[in-house]
């Protein structure tokens, strides 16, 4: 028995909550409050990374405790918006994992070529770099005009940047390298105009992209797609939410539709693993078979 344990009237001992338990309870209360007040549902995000982010945010807001953050978030919309930005981890790049885009060009594009019309969903598109990469690839393969790309994210600030297609010029060296490794056939700089410290991607790339807010935890399927990209999003979810989102994708993919996950993700060990066959196991690209 520790000094903080509680002795009940019948003599039984109720152990004191340890710090971990206390933290978990406070986090659950914070997430419950956010869900009820703002409708954003982080309750099934994986706890370890969520905790790290929340403590980082407490520090950034000059606060001491999770309860202090809860009070501020529930009374101050701007503080909540900053927290969403922090929890959403909008890290991305163009032609991220170039070998995946190369494989897509070689193995998936020939399949898409046989379709009269192509619908692609980028779920959790962040600031849009992955979407412009897809637009460039479809353009080079002569498929862009018959494609519609749906680019969604829960974070409206990221989406705003995605719509503008403006990125820091210092990123272009890496993006050019990725583009070439991904099998790009043109000069990458033809796709943007540089202005001072930033570049703007050409509007023709945006012509067939529809940007929209969509939350994978709370929103429904909204169309049928030939391809769904959802990379580096579900790594932040727990098993329950991951299965829920796979249900959404399964419902939203056409027969033989292609699902593309992030390099550290897999369809294995989800409730839907038997519904897909790998098109390329290393690149985490799957085809729906039932
Ligand atoms: C690390 S970024 C991945 C961006 C891009 N797919 C890539 O791989 O480069 C994760 C994105 O998922 C989004 N996200 C996280 N939870 C989400 C949810 N419940 N619904 C929709 N988007 C979500 C975040 O806002 C963030 O933009």
44-61 per-position pLDDT tens digit: 999 999 999 999 999 999
CA 216 to ligand 1: nearest atom: 20
Query: pLDDT band at residue 15, thresholds of 50, 70 and 90?
Result: low
Atom 13 of ligand 1 has which residue's CA nearest to it? Answer: 124
Token pair for 239: 């098993």
88 C-beta closer than 6 A to ligand 1: yes
CA of residue 188 to ligand 1 center, whole Å: 25
Joined together, the tokens standing for residue 110 give: 């020939």
* Residue 17 or residue 99, greater confidence: 99
Q: Report the alpha-carbon angle 241-246-251, nearest 5.
A: 130
Lowest-pLDDT range of 4-8, 48-52, 218-222, 251-255: 4-8
In sequence order, the 6+-apart residues with CB closer than 8 A to the CB of 136 are 179, 184, 191, 205
* Mean pLDDT, residues 79-107 taken together: 96
Q: Which two tokens stand for residue 195?
A: 């202005």
> Averaged over 7-26, what is the pLDDT?
74
89 lines ligand 1 (CB under 6 A): yes
Cα separation of 56 and 87, whole Å?
A: 10
| Residue the block writes with tokens 């503008």 | 164
Please give the average per-residue pLDDT across 6-25, as a whole number. 72
Domains of the chain, earliest start first: 6-88 (no CATH), 98-288 (3.40.50.150)
Q: 232 CA to middle of ligand 1, Å?
A: 7
Distance 4 CA to ligand 1 centre (A): 42
pLDDT at 2 over 60: no
The H-assigned helical ranges of the chain are 19-38, 47-60, 66-75, 77-88, 98-103, 109-113, 129-140, 156-164, 172-181, 239-252
* Cβ count within 10 A of residue 195: 10
Share of the chain above pLDDT 70, in %: 94
pLDDT band at residue 241 using 50, 70 and 90 as cut-offs: very high
- Give the distance (Å) from ligand 1 centre to CA of residue 152: 9
Q: How far is CA 228 from CA 53, 68, 69, 146, in A?
A: 28, 39, 36, 17
> pLDDT tens, 113-153?
999 999 999 999 999 999 999 999 999 999 999 999 999 99
Residue to probe by mutation, ligand 1, list 42, 153, 214, 284, most atoms within 8 Å of CB:
153
> Which value, to the nearest 10 degrees, does the dihedral of the CA atoms of residues 240, 244, 246, 249 take?
-170
171 vs 12, more confident = 171
pLDDT score of 13 more than 90: no
Give the 3-state secondary structure of residue 198.
Answer: strand
Identify the pLDDT of residue 18.
79
Of the listed ranges 13-17, 71-75, 101-105, 183-187, the one predicted with least confidence: 13-17
């Amino acid at each position: 028995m520790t000094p903080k344990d509680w002795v009940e009237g019948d003599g039984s001992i109720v152990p004191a909550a340890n710090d971990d338990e206390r933290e978990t309870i406070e986090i659950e209360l914070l997430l419950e409050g956010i869900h009820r007040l703002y409708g954003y549902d982080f309750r099934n995000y994986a706890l370890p990374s969520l905790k790290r982010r929340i403590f980082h945010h407490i520090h950034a807001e000059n606060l001491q405790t999770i309860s202090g953050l809860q009070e501020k978030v529930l009374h101050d919309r701007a503080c909540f918006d900053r927290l969403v930005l922090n929890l959403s981890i909008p890290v991305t790049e163009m032609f991220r994992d170039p070998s995946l885009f190369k494989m897509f060009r070689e193995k998936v594009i020939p399949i898409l070529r046989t379709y009269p019309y192509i619908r692609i969903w980028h779920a959790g598109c962040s600031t849009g770099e992955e979407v412009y990469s897809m637009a460039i690839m479809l353009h080079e393969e002569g498929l862009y005009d018959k494609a519609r790309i749906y680019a969604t994210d829960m974070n409206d600030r990221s989406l705003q940047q995605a719509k503008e297609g403006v990125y820091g010029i210092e990123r272009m060296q890496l993006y050019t390298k990725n583009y070439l490794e991904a099998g790009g056939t043109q000069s990458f700089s033809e796709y943007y105009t540089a202005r001072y410290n930033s570049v703007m991607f050409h509007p023709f790339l945006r012509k067939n992209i529809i940007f929209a807010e969509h939350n994978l935890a709370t929103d429904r399927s909204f169309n049928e797609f030939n391809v769904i990209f959802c990379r580096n999003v579900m790594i932040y979810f727990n098993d329950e939410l991951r299965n829920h989102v796979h249900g959404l994708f399964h419902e939203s993919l056409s027969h033989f539709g292609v699902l593309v996950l992030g390099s550290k993700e897999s369809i294995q060990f989800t409730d839907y693993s038997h519904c897909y066959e790998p098109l390329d196991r290393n690149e985490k690209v799957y085809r729906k078979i039932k």
